[in-house]
């Protein structure tokens, strides 16, 4: 990954504090299962306005998002069935 090469280059140049925040950390240090984005930082995340322990919005809303998607799918299926039944009723 290009970002990892950039961190290695910064380390070679003496910027020992450079690291990738939120990118493929070891499982015990992984931020909320991955953030879906990462940042190359040279100081603690709070210095940049980022939380020290970030929460993944994907995992945080997983149940609610799944329920909403299922509900929308069922509503669309019911609307299609109603439209089909109404159209068939008009043909008779």
What is the model's pLDDT at position 68? Answer: 92
What is the model's pLDDT at position 66? Answer: 85
Residues 59 and 33: beta-carbon distance below 8 Å: yes
CA end-to-end span of the chain: 64
Predicted model pTM: 0.49
What is the model's pLDDT at position 25? Answer: 52
DSSP summary character for residue 61: T
Label each residue of 4-57 as H, E or C. Answer: HHHHHHHHHCCCCCCEEECCCCCCCCCCCCCCCCCEEECCCHHHHCCCCCCCCH
> Any idea where the domains of the chain sit in the sequence?
1-55, 61-92
What is the model's pLDDT at position 32? Answer: 47
Residue 85: is its pLDDT beyond 80?
A: yes
- pLDDT tens-digit series, residues 20-77: 887 755 555 554 455 667 888 999 989 988 888 766 665 666 788 889 999 999 999 9
């Amino acid at each position: 990954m290009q970002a990892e090469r950039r961190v290695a280059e910064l380390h070679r140049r003496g910027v020992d504090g450079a690291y990738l925040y939120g990118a493929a950390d070891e499982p015990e240090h992984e931020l909320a299962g991955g953030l879906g984005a990462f940042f190359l930082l040279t100081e603690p995340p709070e210095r940049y306005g980022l939380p020290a322990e970030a929460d993944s919005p994907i995992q945080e809303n997983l149940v609610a998002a799944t329920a909403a998607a299922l509900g929308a799918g069922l509503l669309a299926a019911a609307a299609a069935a109603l439209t089909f039944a109404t159209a068939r009723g008009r043909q008779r």
